[in-house]
Structure 1
Amino acid sequence: MRISQARVRNYRSVLDSNDFALERDKTILVGINESGKTALLKAIQTVNPPDDTGQLDFLADYPRAHLNDIQTGKAKVEDIKVAEVTFALDESDRAALPGSLAVQKDASLTWHRYLDNVRRYTLTGIADAPTMKELRQDLVRLKAHLEKQEAETAIITAFENLLTNSDSAEITETLATSLAGLVQQATPIVDEEDDKETARLSRLHAATEYGADLKKAVGILNARTPLLVYYSTYFTVRPRIDLESLAARQARDDIDDEYDFGNLCLLKFLGFTAQELSELGAGAPVKPPQYEQNEAVREAHDQAVQEHQRKLDARQYRLNAAGVQLTRDLRRVWGDEQLTLRLIADGQYLKVMVVDDLGVEVELDQRSEGFRWLVSFFVVFRAQATDDLKNAVLLLDEPGLSLHALKQQEFRKTISLLGEDNQIIYSTHSPFMVGSDELDLVRIVEMPSREEGTKVHTRVQVDDPRSIFPLQAALGYELAQTLFAQKKNLVCEGVTDMFYLNAVNSAADAENGPTLKGTPAVIPAGTASKVAYFCTIYAGQSLDVAALLDSDNAGDQAATQDALTALLPKKAILRVADFLVTPYRGAEIEDLFRSTLAERAKDLGWDSIATIAAQPTRPIMEILAAEHGTKSVSKWKLSKSFMNWLGQNGYTALTDDERAAWEKLATAVNKAL
């Protein structure tokens, strides 16, 4: 049985969330701060919370702006629904129900929690119990028949009382019991040869049986309804647990739920109580004075020592097994196969130690907060998964916030694994807790206004664009990862540089001209100053990378950056001017195809052919901007015109100098990569 749909109303910031579907294994609630994600999870939990969960309190939980309605009597707590959670029945649930019930495959059970803490239910896909309206005619005629048979006055009166119930009253619980008793009393009075009346008795008996079975079915489904467990903060496991102190606090019922919960979960996971470990830490039994003289005392002491040693062995084995299990969990998410977690009993202390790849043991609190959080999460989950949390629905509020982005990605996989046995609903702000393949699992939570309250959407189109930022960031990250798909990479300054390089390379390849070998990815950095950062990222991914910079001032500054010169060999820092037949200062990539671009510029209405020919060592873009204005001349339009022309005319249509410049550039790039 798992949740298929939910709706929250009249709870804190939620006036009416609307119905929203939940996935069978995992659902992700995404929204900005103060949108109401926590309120949704807490309200859903009220449907079937753990025993130690607090009750609903209208003063704290009813929307504060409407509280006066309750205080003045306009609204009654017993009429106010807080949460409706629908559970879809699976095959095992349906099989557990009485065979007399016609249970459809899409049958479901909806629990309704009211503000007065009363819980009611609705069954769907199972025929309702008969009502008084359906049975009234049979009851009236049976009563008349009994009167003719001169039945006792008490029976007749009981029938009359039953008939006073409204037509809508269902034959369940009290009514079913009353009717069953009357049918039993009427049976001996009805002549067995009277087919009409015996058939009437059979119909009434079947109605009472169905009502009783329906009541039994609700009891069965109630017992099978999963526990809803909410985690807002994952209780921390302490690196050093004082067993004697913890045992004493337990004995006097003075446990701090927030401070001690993680430690108690660890002990539960180990299968010990604090008192048991504390007694073991006190040492072996002391040899009594009569040990040598009294054989019975000696045998009892030896037996106690032997038993103590056995308990020590059991403690060691359990600590070791627990350490192995937690280590396996941590390695899967943390990505460090050398990492080992050890649980060590040292006198009155239970210590949680971490062994690094050097073999150094350190206490848990000396590791990062994210690592400590992960250890605590697995301890708490492992301790309760086989007991309280078995088949439970886990409501996780902002899990993994202290984990690094890449660790969050791995932890997301762990949540999916947990979802195989436990349905999970979790809220998050982090794009790394939402996979690009999980967008169908996302529900957007937003608060358009305080007057409307929190709303839940299954569609991505929402009123507040900030609500879907984690989804946009997740998609952006996945898109960015495609930039690292190629082994060889050439980083250039701008997008138009990429256009020129890819277009000429494709044209040359089509005509067996000189090309960039290995099909390197051409990556535009945006500006010359960012080239070094891009090269650093690519080199950090163990990819081959080279940089192509213009020969202007910005290119000079970028080429001499320490970050770039220390990262790349000299041959991998390429300058445009080095590939011209006649190098000159300020040359940009457009100058490699100077003559052809002069013609393309003329086609665009920027005729500077004479000037370009008269000033062969002046950059072409500088000439065009000076003669036609920087606002009119567009590098983008010029590059698109060049690509269209090259596609129609081919590589050989370039001038000899342009082909020579390209060949030199292609040779240098191939050598650098």
Structure 2
Amino acid sequence: MQLAEFRVQNYKIVEDTGWIPVQNLTTFVGKNESGKSAIFRALSKLNPSDGEGYDGLKEFPRQRYASEITRTDWPVASGRFELNPDEQRDIAAISELCRDITHVEVTRHYTGSYSITYQPDVGVDLVTSPDLIYAIESAIEHIRNLFAPEGKGDILGRIKEGLLSFLEEQKNAIPVDGQIQKRHISDLINAIKSRANEPWQHEILDPVTEPMYRLVRQMEIYEGLMAANRYVIEHLPKFVYFDQYNVIESAIHIPTFIATLKSHPDSPGLRATNCLFRHVNLDLDQLDRLGSHKNAVDDNPIIRRQVDERSILLSTASNLMTKKFEDWWGQRRIRFRYDIDGDYFRVWVSDDLDPSEIELEQRSAGLQYFFSFYLVFLVESGDAYHDSILLLDEPGLQLHPTAQQQTTKFFDRISKGNQLFFSTHSPFMIDLDHLDRVRTVYEGPGGTTKVSLDEWPADKDSLFPLEAALATKIAEKTLVCGNQLIVEDTHDLWLLQAMNYALRSRGKSGLDSSVRITPAGGTANLIPLALMMTSNKKPAGVLLSGKTVPDGVLEKFPAMHFKEGHGLLFYSNIIHKKGAGIEDLFSPDLYFRCVKEIYPDLLLGQVPEKSPTERNDERGFASIIAEMIERKQGEHFERWRVAELLSDRICESPQNIDDETLERFSRLFDEINRLTSNS
């Protein structure tokens, strides 16, 4: 069966998730305490691999417990499954009602009972006491209206009298709320038929039993449907739920483990360890007895044989686990060795790069997690790989971000054989190439858990992992793409791109096609961004407006192999003004026209009209205008708005750009091309 969608209700902080479509691999993203674990644990108990049922006292919504828990058998987890062709054939053979069934919906309640519906919908009513009473009354009425053939009146009269008395007695004996058995109806039919000895009697009495035969037929159809229900439950996929609490320890003190298992058998921390012993096929009580003989002086042949058998089991299980884990893991070849040393059971690990054996707990947290999970998967699914759905709660938390990204690829591979759902709040576990697989879990009104379907939630915390994943993907593409030029802000990018278009449309050379411009979002971000650029072995340059460089930034560039003329360029190199920004490369008239459109109240005479090279003021043009607007009009100068308008004007009419501006940008682009190609 393939799970197509599921629903969780009445479980902890989950009131009702609604139906959630799922694929072979589905990611549930949400912040802590959003309800991801609750959804997974509730769903896992639809058919749990660990056999754990629902506990209303601990799991029913606490605020509703006192007033509602006893009202009904509340539903918890529901799944809609698609039947494969073999299952469709099997279920059609079991019940004639299920000949066209392709999907089935299964719901489990707090008592552990199941309710099942089919698609297309089918159904047959259970035969009840009123149904049987009505059939008997119909038979009584039919008997009263019987007419005998000529000369047979006395015989028929005696038959009618006996049957009427018998049926009235049977009708009165039917319990109002009792369960009707098919045997009871068959006995009634046989009792009626036994009154007929001659052909004419059979001909008269056969119609009397028709209502009862219809009830038998109805019961047979109902029994077939119940058998189909049992088939569905028996063939439900096993749900294997796993979280951090189940990670195994590599050195297990056997007597302590046995004592804890007997006193607290449901402790999550014992689950994986118990699976380890089951996988090794070792009897814990036998292990304990062997331990009690470890100091024995005499050579007991029975104990000797038991020890030898234990060693063979350990060796066989170690080799089997090594082979299976290698096929499943698909990465570095890992070898496991199980060993018992006195009262301790140990797991030793080596690999193809280092044959030295190391305790499992000394290996990476990621390997410990996936080894423990795989043990649980193997044992609790009974090796029925294709009959299990894997629910991993926050896997890979201990892994490095790059290892987390590799883990999602690993999940994608094993989901080909088993549906796999995992929850996370790490952006590195989100595959943005398959956003259709992502479900966002968030806190809805009243503190209950909700799951996104057709739209993302407004909750910023819930969306943050997705936003961070998107930013990471953009950064990855940016850092490894082309020859990089880092500029201070977005308005630099706009104006550089616009002037590159203007130059090329005028038949002049512009930026080299390999140059990629990346805004740093301010000079404070220039250093870390430049470091990341150069670490990716891509040529990178930095373009700065000297006036806004924070103290100490320029001093740090030489240590990063950036210095003026080598990876570092200033706008002031083009117009020879210390505080120059990109706006100073334009003619004052062109730039001021755009300023006036944004700030129409600014007087023309307040703006210096000299060209940048003629002004004695070392400040940049944008800084002078910003001061005027803030001092005279009490407004904050929004530099980006003017830059956006200016870039639009350039692209609309590149033929109107003056030659001096074109020449300055042409020299700037020549410097950028040289800088990024030699960095």
> Are residue 565 (structure 1) and residue 559 (structure 2) matched?
yes
In the other structure, the counterpart of 2:516 is 521
* 8 Å CA contact retained: 1:249, 1:255: no
In the other structure, the counterpart of 1:492 is 487
Matches within 5 A, 1:216-365: 216-241=227-252, 245=255, 257-270=267-280, 315-316=314-315, 318-327=317-326, 329-330=328-329, 332=331, 337=332, 340-343=334-337, 345=339, 347-348=341-342, 349-355=345-351, 357=353, 361-365=357-361
State the distance in 1 between where 2:378 and 2:477 align.
Answer: 37
Shift of 1:584: 2.8
Does the residue aligned with 2:387 lie in a helix, a strand or coil? coil
State the distance in 1 between where 2:529 and 2:403 align.
Answer: 23
In the other structure, the counterpart of 1:13 is 13
Q: Deviations over 1:35-76 (max 9, x none)?
A: 333333334444444575265243x3443334443xxxxx56
Does the residue aligned with 1:548 lie in a helix, a strand or coil? strand
Does the residue aligned with 1:658 lie in a helix, a strand or coil? helix
Does the residue aligned with 2:246 lie in a helix, a strand or coil? coil
Shift of 1:108: 2.0
Pair 248,554 (structure 1): closer, same or farther in 2 beyond 3 Å: closer
- Which one of the candidate residues 138, 141, 154 is aligned to 1:141? 138
Give the aligned residue type for 1:352. W
> Which consecutive residues of structure 1, in runs of 5 or more, have no partner in the other structure?
70-74, 290-299
| Range with greater deviation from structure 2 (511-520 or 270-279) | 270-279
In the other structure, the counterpart of 1:621 is 622
Give the aligned residue type for 1:566. M
- Which one of the candidate residues 625, 634, 646 is aligned to 1:642? 646
* 8 Å CA contact retained: 1:8, 1:18: yes
* 8 Å CA contact retained: 1:444, 1:460: no
State the distance in 2 between where 1:612 and 1:96 align.
Answer: 88
> Are residue 576 (structure 1) and residue 580 (structure 2) matched?
no
* 8 Å CA contact retained: 1:101, 1:127: yes
* 8 Å CA contact retained: 1:579, 1:665: no
> Which consecutive residues of structure 2, in runs of 5 or more, have no partner in the other structure?
147-158
State the distance in 2 between where 1:255 and 1:131 align.
Answer: 41
- Which one of the candidate residues 206, 210, 225 is aligned to 2:217? 206
- Which one of the candidate residues 48, 61, 64 is aligned to 1:63? 61
* 8 Å CA contact retained: 1:29, 1:443: yes
Give the aligned residue type for 2:534. A
Shift of 1:532: 1.3
State the distance in 1 between where 2:180 and 2:413 align.
Answer: 46
State the distance in 2 between where 1:174 and 1:541 align.
Answer: 78
Does the residue aligned with 2:224 lie in a helix, a strand or coil? helix
* 8 Å CA contact retained: 1:516, 1:669: no
* 8 Å CA contact retained: 2:499, 2:665: no
In the other structure, the counterpart of 1:296 is none
* 8 Å CA contact retained: 2:488, 2:523: yes
In the other structure, the counterpart of 1:72 is none
Does the residue aligned with 2:124 lie in a helix, a strand or coil? coil
Give the aligned residue type for 2:639. K
Shift of 1:524: 0.5
> Are residue 672 (structure 1) and residue 678 (structure 2) matched?
yes
State the distance in 2 between where 1:282 and 1:489 align.
Answer: 72
Shift of 1:554: 0.8
Pair 460,657 (structure 1): closer, same or farther in 2 beyond 3 Å: closer
Does the residue aligned with 1:144 lie in a helix, a strand or coil? helix
CA RMSD of aligned residues (A): 4.4
* 8 Å CA contact retained: 1:270, 1:322: no
In the other structure, the counterpart of 2:155 is none
> Are residue 123 (structure 1) and residue 117 (structure 2) matched?
yes
State the distance in 1 between where 2:476 and 2:532 align.
Answer: 11
Does the residue aligned with 1:560 lie in a helix, a strand or coil? helix
Matches within 5 A, 1:179-190: 179-187=185-193
Pair 38,138 (structure 1): closer, same or farther in 2 beyond 3 Å: same
> Are residue 662 (structure 1) and residue 662 (structure 2) matched?
no
Does the residue aligned with 1:101 lie in a helix, a strand or coil? helix
Q: Deviations over 1:310-359 (max 9, x none)?
A: 98677546424423443565564xxxx4x744425375453322448466
Matches within 5 A, 1:397-412: 397-412=393-408
Q: Deviations over 1:156-194 (max 9, x none)?
A: 14752598769xx9xxx7444433443454455575546
Q: Deviations over 1:186-228 (max 9, x none)?
A: 4555755468557656544422321221222222223223344
Shift of 1:546: 1.6
Give the alignment's TM-score, normalised by structure 2: 0.78
In the other structure, the counterpart of 2:22 is 23
Pair 589,455 (structure 1): closer, same or farther in 2 beyond 3 Å: closer
* 8 Å CA contact retained: 2:241, 2:390: yes
In the other structure, the counterpart of 2:583 is 590
In the other structure, the counterpart of 1:294 is none
Shift of 1:490: 0.8
State the distance in 2 between where 1:241 and 1:651 align.
Answer: 81
Q: Deviations over 1:475-517 (max 9, x none)?
A: 3433443423513211111111112222222333344423332
Does the residue aligned with 1:543 lie in a helix, a strand or coil? coil
Does the residue aligned with 1:96 lie in a helix, a strand or coil? helix
Figure out how many residues of one structure are paired with residues of the other and give that number.
Answer: 636
State the distance in 2 between where 1:189 and 1:417 align.
Answer: 71
Give the aligned residue type for 2:579. G
State the distance in 1 between where 2:670 and 2:434 align.
Answer: 47
State the distance in 1 between where 2:589 and 2:258 align.
Answer: 89
Shift of 1:576: 2.0
In the other structure, the counterpart of 1:108 is 104
Give the aligned residue type for 1:239. S
Q: Deviations over 1:203-262 (max 9, x none)?
A: 4442232122122222222322334444343422223345x6479769988979545433
In the other structure, the counterpart of 1:292 is none
| Range with greater deviation from structure 2 (512-521 or 596-605) | 596-605
State the distance in 2 between where 1:282 and 1:325 align.
Answer: 34
State the distance in 2 between where 1:254 and 1:10 align.
Answer: 27
Does the residue aligned with 1:210 lie in a helix, a strand or coil? helix
Shift of 1:127: 2.7
In the other structure, the counterpart of 2:470 is 475
Give the aligned residue type for 2:535. G
State the distance in 1 between where 2:50 and 2:315 align.
Answer: 33
Does the residue aligned with 2:97 lie in a helix, a strand or coil? coil
Pair 270,281 (structure 1): closer, same or farther in 2 beyond 3 Å: farther
State the distance in 1 between where 2:24 and 2:186 align.
Answer: 43
Give the aligned residue type for 1:225. L
In the other structure, the counterpart of 2:149 is none
* 8 Å CA contact retained: 1:192, 1:198: no
State the distance in 1 between where 2:559 and 2:656 align.
Answer: 34
> Are residue 430 (structure 1) and residue 423 (structure 2) matched?
no
Does the residue aligned with 1:127 lie in a helix, a strand or coil? coil
State the distance in 2 between where 1:350 and 1:430 align.
Answer: 32
State the distance in 1 between where 2:346 and 2:405 align.
Answer: 32
In the other structure, the counterpart of 1:93 is 87
State the distance in 1 between where 2:385 and 2:263 align.
Answer: 24
Give the alignment's TM-score, normalised by structure 1: 0.79
Q: Deviations over 1:532-566 (max 9, x none)?
A: 1111122233333221122335177433215x632
Matches within 5 A, 1:367-516: 367-387=363-383, 391-450=387-446, 453-462=448-457, 464-484=459-479, 486-516=481-511
State the distance in 2 between where 1:437 and 1:84 align.
Answer: 30
Matches within 5 A, 1:25-44: 25-44=24-43
